[in-house]
Amino acid sequence: MIRSQSQPQDFVDEASASQDVGFKRELTLYDALMINVGTTLASAIFIVPAIVLATTGTAFMSSLVWIVAGGLSWCGAVTFSELAVMYPRAGGQYVYLKQAFSRFWGFLYGWTLFSVIQTASIAAVAVALMTYLAYFIPMSPVTTKVGSIVLIMGLTIWNCIAVRTSANIQNRTTVIKLLTIVAIALICFLFGGDGLAAFQEMVPKGPATRTVAGFGAAMVAALWAFDGWAMVTFVSGEVRNPDRVLPRALTFSVIGLIIIYLLVTNAFIYALPAADMMVSNRIAADAVEHVMGRIGGGLVAFAVIVSCFAAVNGLIFTAARVYFAMARDGVFFSWAAKLSDRKVPVNAILAQGVWASALTLTGRYDQLFTYVVFTSWVAYLLGAVAVMVLRQKDPGRLRPYRAFGYPYITALFGVAAWALLLEVLWHNPRDSVIGLSIVLLGVPLYYYWKRRSKNIETADSSFG
């Protein structure tokens, strides 16, 4: 990279910085796409379409929700692309917030990622997988939780082996997932037809205020279904040619997800009578069973299992790099900054797996979901602001990729993030406050680690 004349004296080439900490750049564009798509397409694709239709009323309005939610996610992707290329190192949003604001704000994000966002997502998706596995193997609630912990720790250990090992299983399971999802959609279109009435009117009958309110509620659910598009930024330090690969991975994955959600949602609507779909708690299984019988339910259960497996693996694979970066900066457990001989942050991965396993024993899936939604979108909002702050704070810094449509696209994403936060806070104030309380618990921890880090530096210098 070429140093700009106006760059600060402590500027360090990001590619060199990544090599300094021992990571190897071995992830390709294909790997990056599979990480984003694999982690995003978890259980939501089999649940959220029913919520979206129930709150919008027609196939047209339902599709519009997916397009708008996908468009807002794309705004986030192009916004974060600028940050990802500026700082192509392990840590993603932790690094961006640290550079834009301070290490304190970066730490709060990393702490929240560890305590709630990533680990709660791992726990929730693992529980969903075991719940659908019960379709083939009957399980008690206790067995479901034990199975979830075994799955989490098994994949945790697997991801400790090597980066290539983690990427390979992510790629293969994501491909199987996509093929199965497309097969399910085609089956619904070929053998369905009972939901044709939902396509005959664009806007549902009734007051416009009800339509607008339903659209807003559906947007919350749809945006949750798109959450995961920023996962590849956590492993930026291991991506080849980050200037080209990261923007493409972020934007292409969101575009692909929009197509998939539109395909699947309309397939389910086409297969089921609208009245049945709006009250369905397992829309995918009900749709395929409606056209294929019990064998269809088994196919959907298999699809959910594979989908959740890829998501859990991707979630475990990526976020440990954030804790590693925090530990390198002295604001996390020092042992999390160690790499194995194969350049894997084993200790950080193991810590994440243990805490995610503990979370499976507490709370319900919907509680974990609310914690994750609120806290993760706070981080997205700060990420959008970070782009604007860095444009003013360091205008001369080399930017191989500049956010498309800046500042309008970036501002639109920030406003959407703020609106979503208000929506979730309004409808789930208790759980949202719990999520914020968990964030604030990180404040004393930050000052503890900061003070400890200074003491270690002082002791080292006295012996130097």
End-to-end CA distance of the chain: 34
User: Where on the phi/psi map is residue 339: left (φ > 0), alpha (ψ -120 to 50), or beta?
Assistant: beta
pLDDT for position 198: 76
Of 177-181, 209-213, 292-296, 434-438, which one has max mean pLDDT?
Answer: 177-181
CB atoms within 10 A of CB 71: 16
Contact 110, 322 (CB under 8 A): yes
On whether residue 7 sits in a domain, the answer given is no
pLDDT single digits (tens) 80-136: 999 999 999 999 999 999 999 999 999 999 999 998 889 988 998 998 899 889 888
Comparing 61 with 464, the larger pLDDT belongs to 61
pLDDT single digits (tens) 430-448: 877 887 888 889 999 999 9
Tally the domains of the chain: 1
On whether residue 359 sits in a domain, the answer given is yes
Of 14-28, 150-164, 355-369, 418-432, which one has max mean pLDDT?
Answer: 150-164
For residue 162, the domain's CATH number is 1.20.1740.10
On whether residue 438 sits in a domain, the answer given is yes
On whether residue 2 sits in a domain, the answer given is no
Cα dist from 436 to 116, 221, 327, 439, whole Å:
10, 20, 23, 5
On whether residue 1 sits in a domain, the answer given is no
Comparing 11 with 203, the larger pLDDT belongs to 203
Confidence of residue 326 (pLDDT cuts 50, 70, 90): very high
Domain range holding 106? Answer: 27-451
pLDDT single digits (tens) 168-183: 999 999 999 999 999 9
Comparing 198 with 5, the larger pLDDT belongs to 198
On whether residue 456 sits in a domain, the answer given is no
pLDDT single digits (tens) 385-429: 999 999 998 888 888 899 999 999 999 999 989 988 888 788 778
Confidence of residue 211 (pLDDT cuts 50, 70, 90): confident
Lowest average pLDDT, out of 8-17, 111-120, 312-321, goes to: 8-17
pLDDT for position 182: 94
Q: Is 143 buried (19+), middle (13-18) or exposed (0-12) by CB count in 10 A?
A: middle
pLDDT for position 367: 65
pLDDT for position 50: 83
pLDDT for position 318: 95
Mean confidence (pLDDT) of the chain = 86
pLDDT for position 430: 81
| Full DSSP string of 25-88 | --B-HHHHHHHHHHHHSSSGGGTHHHHHHHHH-SHHHHHHHHHHHHHHHHHHHHHHHHHHHHS-
